[in-house]
Amino acid sequence: MPSHPDESVTPSMDKDLYYALTEADIQRVHTTLTIDDFDCITEDVRYIFYNNGTTQISVLPLPAIKRNVQRNMKVEDFRMRKLVFIPSSSSAGILVNASTRILDTADHLLQQPQKDTFTEIKDAIQSTLPEVFKYGPEQQYINSACEQIAKIQEKRNFWTEPFIREIIILANLFIQYRNGFYLPLITLAEPLQPKSYTLIHLSVEIRRGYLQDRITRVKFNLLGGFTFSFVPEIYSGISNHVRIYAPEGLVIKEVEFDLQPEHSKDPESKKGVCKGLQKHLDEHKRDYFDDRCFYIQLGPEKSTILYHCKKYFNIKLGLSSLLKTLLWLWWLTVLSPFICGVLSWLKILPLVVARVVFSSDFALALLALSATFLVAAFFYAIDKKIVKQFITTHIIFIYVVLTVEIFFMMYN
C-alpha cells in the first residue's frame, strides 16, 4: 500500500528538499583534516552549493555521511551563522515526502503504456520509503527499494530521458542508504536564491579507529613517528581541495599516493588511468606539502579519475627539529656517565676526568641538568597532545636510566 506524505512536516520543506535534490549542485569542496590526537581528528569541510533552478531553497541536503562516532558536529553558513540540523525524526518525513514528489513528477512525465508499467513499481517503492529513511533502517526494505529501481534500469530504453533523470536522483539516494550512509538535512538562515551560490561549513570531530592501534602507538612513543593513512573524500566532476595539518610538534616527512582500480576485474585501460594519475601525483608531490601542511587541489577531470579509483594518501610524520634536538641533548646528558665509563674503560678518557664524572657532585649536576631539559620539554609539549605522549614515555625511560646511574655513582 502506498505511503502518504508525513503530516508533521510542512509542505514547503518537502518542496524545498525536492528542488534541492533536483536543482542544487555542489560546485567545490574544501576538506581540512587536523590530527588532534590518536583518538580524534577534526574534519572541516566547506561546500560551495549552486542553485541551478528557478526556485529559492531553504532546506539543503549535505552529502551523505556514515553514522560514525561523531562529536561537536556543527554547521555554519558564509556569514558564520549557526545553522540547524533537522532531527532524524523530522528529516525522515521530509525525505519520504520529497521522494514521493520525485516519483509523482516522474509519473507525470510518462505516457501510456509506460505509465501502467511504472504504477506497480511506484507503489512498491512508496510502501518502503518510511522504513528506508527512518533512523536505523532495516536492510530488507532498502534492498527492496533498490530492486524496484533496478527494474526500471533494466528497461532503460523504454523510458524517456526526463523520467530517467528524476529516477536517478532517487536511485543514488537508495544506494547511499544501502551502503550505510544517511542524508543530513539543514535549514538555511536565508533562502538560496536561483542562480546563486552559498558556502556551507561543516565541522565535526571523528573517532579514527586505526590510530588506536597499539603497535602504532608504541612505535610512535619510542621513535616519534607514524604514518597517517586515509581515504580522501573526493566528489566526481567538481573541484576538490584536500588539506591536512600535521599535529603540533610533528612535521610531514614524506607523502605517498596509492591508487588502484576500484575492482580487480576492471579493464586494463581503467587500471592504466589510475596508475597514470598516481605517476603524475608522485612526480609533483613535493609541490603538495611542507613541514606543517599537505595541500592538494584537484580539478574536475582529475577528481573524476580519482573518484573511480581505490585511493589512499599516506602522510609520514616525524619529530620537529626542535624536539629532536631537545631529545638528543636530554639523552646525551643522562647517558654521559655511561659514555664516560666506556671511554675510561677503553683508556680514552683520563682517569681524573672519570673520577669527577662518577662523583656525587656530578650526579647532582646531572640531575639538575636533566630536570632543566624536563621542564623545557614539558613547556614545549604542554599544548601538543600527541607529542605529550611521546615526551611522557621518554621521561619514564630517562629517569629509570638516571636512577640506576646515580645509584652506581653514589655507591661505587
Q: Identify the DSSP state of 17.
A: H
Tens digit of each residue's pLDDT (9 = 90 or more) over 174-227: 999 998 889 999 999 999 999 999 999 999 888 765 556 677 778 888 888 888
Q: What is the pLDDT of residue 184?
A: 92
Which residue(s) pair with 50 in the sheet?
Answer: 25, 197
Nearest CA among 46, 62, 65, 56 for reference residue 23: 56
Q: Which tops the pLDDT comparison, 343 or 73?
A: 73
Does residue 34 carry a pLDDT above 80?
A: yes
Provide the Cα torsion 339, 341, 345, 351; round to 10°. 120
pTM reported for the whole predicted model: 0.81
User: Does residue 230 sit in helix, strand or coil?
Assistant: strand
User: Does residue 41 sit in helix, strand or coil?
Assistant: strand
Nearest CA among 373, 389, 403 for reference residue 222: 389
Does residue 7 carry a pLDDT above 50?
A: no
Please state, in angstroms and rounded to a whole number, the distance separating the CA atoms of residues 90 and 266: 41
Tens digit of each residue's pLDDT (9 = 90 or more) over 86-142: 998 899 999 999 999 999 998 888 887 878 888 888 999 999 999 999 888 888 999
| Per-residue pLDDT band at 377 (split at 50, 70, 90) | low
Which residues lie below 8 Å from residue 317, measured CB to CB, with a gap of 6+? 225, 226, 227, 228, 246, 247, 250, 251, 252, 253
Give the chain's length: 412
**What is the mean predicted confidence (pLDDT) over 20-28?**
94
Q: Identify the DSSP state of 286.
A: G
Q: Phi and psi dihedrals of 363, rounded to 5?
A: -60, -45
Please state, in angstroms and rounded to a whole number, the distance separating the CA atoms of residues 34 and 52: 33
Sign of CA dihedral 382, 384, 386, 390: negative
Tens digit of each residue's pLDDT (9 = 90 or more) over 387-411: 877 888 887 887 787 777 667 666 6
Please give the full DSSP string across 42-64, using - where no structure is assigned: EEEEEEEEEE-SSS-EEEEEPPP
Which residues lie below 8 Å from residue 361, measured CB to CB, with a gap of 6+? none
Please state, in angstroms and rounded to a whole number, the distance separating the CA atoms of residues 17 and 159: 25
Tens digit of each residue's pLDDT (9 = 90 or more) over 321-372: 877 877 777 777 777 766 666 666 666 656 555 555 555 555 566 666 666 6
